[in-house]
Amino acid sequence: MRIALAQLNYHIGNFEGNLYKMLQAVEEAKRQGADLICFGELATCGYPPRDFLEFRDFIRRAEEIVDELAKHSYDIGIIVGSPAVNPKAEGKDLHNSGFVLVDGQRIHQAKKTLLPTYDIFDEDRYFEPAHEFHTFTFKSKRIALTICEDMWNIGNENPLYTVCPMDEMMPEGPDLMINISASPFDYTHSQERVDIIRQNALRYKLPLFYVNNVGAQTEIIFDGGSMAISPTGHVLELPYFQEIVRVFDLEEVQQNTEDQLQTKDKLPLIYQALILGIGDYFGKLGFKKAILGLSGGIDSALTAVLAAQALGPQNVRVVLMPSEFSSQHSIDDAIALAKNLGLIYDVVPIQHSYKGFTETLKPIFGDLPFDVTEENIQARCRGIILMAMSNKFGHILLNTSNKSEAAVGYGTLYGDMAGGLSVIGDLYKTEVYALSNYINRDEEIIPLNTISKPPSAELRPNQKDSDSLPDYDILDVILFQYIEKELGPREIIAMGYEEELVRRILRLVNINEFKRFQTPPVLRVSSKAFGMGRRMPIVGKYLN
C-alpha cells in the first residue's frame, strides 16, 4: 500500500479554497501512485475555528466538503478531518472527526477522544469525546485512525487523560496507525513531537503515518513536520513550514532503519515561523502592505527585516519619527537599514506635534515636572502618525514591542503598543539580539551599531532601558521562569536571584496585564505566549 501525506496550509472558513487545495493534492497523490491520501485535523474548515463551530451553517458547509471529497474517492481512499454533528441527545453537539472515504462512501468515522483544554486549546468547549474505539479495513490492511492529541497520552509520568485510544483499538489487531493532526509550532515542540510519535510506534510495534497542518492562523503557527515512522522508531520527517504531498510505501516504512530528520535549531525555526506568520496574516486577510515605525533600535529593525522577507520590500513602508531626544546615530542607523532592505521610508519629525500637546496641556499641568507623561505623549504622537498613514494608504501597522517589554509594561498604550499584529511580541529581548545576529550571519543587514548600542526608548535626555529595568540577561531569565515555567517567587528566589528584584519584576508582570489585554495578537513561537495561551485576571491580587 502507498500512503500519501498531504501537509497543507488551510484557511479557516474558506471552504472552497480548502477543497481546491485538497482536490489538487488528491490528483498529485494519484500521479505518485498513492492508494490512500491523508489530510489534517479539521482540514475542511481549518484549525482552530473556535466559535464558528457554533454556527449551524458552518458545520453544514464542512459536511458538504466531505461529501464533495467523497466523489473523488473512487481511485484513491481519502482520510480527512472535519467537524461532525453528534447524533446523540446527550453531550456536546459536535465531534472532532476523521472520515475515511472510499468509492464515494464514508466507510469509517473516527472521533477524537482526548480533547485538549490548556494553553491555546479549548476543544472541550465544542466537542464530545469518543466513547467507542474501532479500526477500519482498507486494501486488506486494518488501520487505527486517531486525531492529534489522541497520540499524546503515553510516556508521561503524570498522564493528563484517563484513556489511551490506541490501547482500546489494539485488541482488533491493527496493521498500521494513522494520525491526522493540527499541532502548533513552538521552538521546542518539533523535537517533542518526534519523540512522542516515535514512542507510539515503539509501544505498539506498528508503522505510524502522521500528517500535520502547516501555515498560520492569526497568532497560531503550524510548522508541518509530518512523518512516517517504522515499528522500530525510525522517522522519515517532511520539511517544516511548507506545503508538500509525499507518498510513502508501507513496506518500505516498515523496513526503514534510518532517520531522516529536519533541523531543530531554535533560531532558524523561529525565523521561518515569523516569516510564515506575517505572510499568512496578510495573505489570508487580503492585506498587501505593512507600515511600521523605524527608530534605529533593534526591535523595529528586526521587525522590518522579517516583514520585508515575508511581504517583499516593495510592500513595507517605514517611518522615522525623530524627536528632540533622538540621537543622530539612531536616525542614521534607521536610514541605513531601510536602504539595506530597499524599503520606502519617510522622515516625519514629531517636535511640532509634541509641542502642540504640551502647550495644550500646560494650563492643566502648570509647573509640574517632566515625567513619564511627556514620554508617553511622544510615543502617542508617533502612534497617531503611523495610524494616520495606515488609514490613508491602507497599510497595516506592525507592532514592534518585544516580550520583555510587554511583560513588565515598558510600553505606551495607544502609542508604541499599537498595531494590527505583534511580530516579535513572543521574543524576549535577549532572543531579539540572538535572532538579529542570526540574520546577520552572512552579511550585515541590520547595522552593527543597532545591535551593539545600549537599548533606549529615547524619550528623555540620555535615557537607557537599564534606567528603569534590570539588565535583560537577568530580567529575561526571571521572566522565563515565571511565564514559561510557571514558577512562583519563592522558587525563583531559591535559584539565587535577589528577593526584592524578583518580587518587583513579578509584580510588574501582574499589574500590567491590563496593557497586554489591549494589544494586538502576538505571533506565537514559544510554549507560553501572551494572548489566548496565557489567560490571567486583570485585577488579580497575587504578588501585589
Report the catalytic residues.
41, 112, 148
Q: Which three cell numbers stand for residue 363?
A: 494650563
Which of 280, 160, 140 has its CA nearest to residue 222? 280
Which of 352, 318, 351 has its CA nearest to residue 336? 318
Q: Which three cell numbers stand for residue 475?
A: 530580567
CB 21 within 8 A of CB 241: no
Dist CA 228 CA 360 (whole Å): 67
Give the contacts of 139 (CB within 8 A, at least 6 positions apart).
1, 35, 36, 77
H or E element, residue 382? helix 372-393
Give the contacts of 363 (CB within 8 A, at least 6 positions apart).
none
Q: Which three cell numbers stand for residue 96?
A: 472532532
Contacts by residues 52-55 (CB-CB < 8 Å, ≥ 24 positions apart):
52/12, 52/13, 53/83, 53/94, 53/126, 54/126
CB 18 within 8 A of CB 37: no
Give the contacts of 3 (CB within 8 A, at least 6 positions apart).
34, 35, 36, 37, 38, 178, 209, 228, 247, 248, 250
CB 94 within 8 A of CB 130: no
DSSP alpha helix (H) spans, 91-235: 165-169, 189-204
DSSP string, 212-251: E-EEEETTEEEEB--EEE-TT--EEEPPBSS-EEEEEEHH
Which of 519, 520, 512, 508 has its CA nearest to residue 537? 512
- Residue 471 neighbours by CB distance under 10 Å: 11
Amino acid (one-letter) located at 257: T
Dist CA 311 CA 299 (whole Å): 18
Dist CA 137 CA 193 (whole Å): 27
Angle at alpha carbon of residue 10, lines to 176 and 182, rounded to 5°: 45
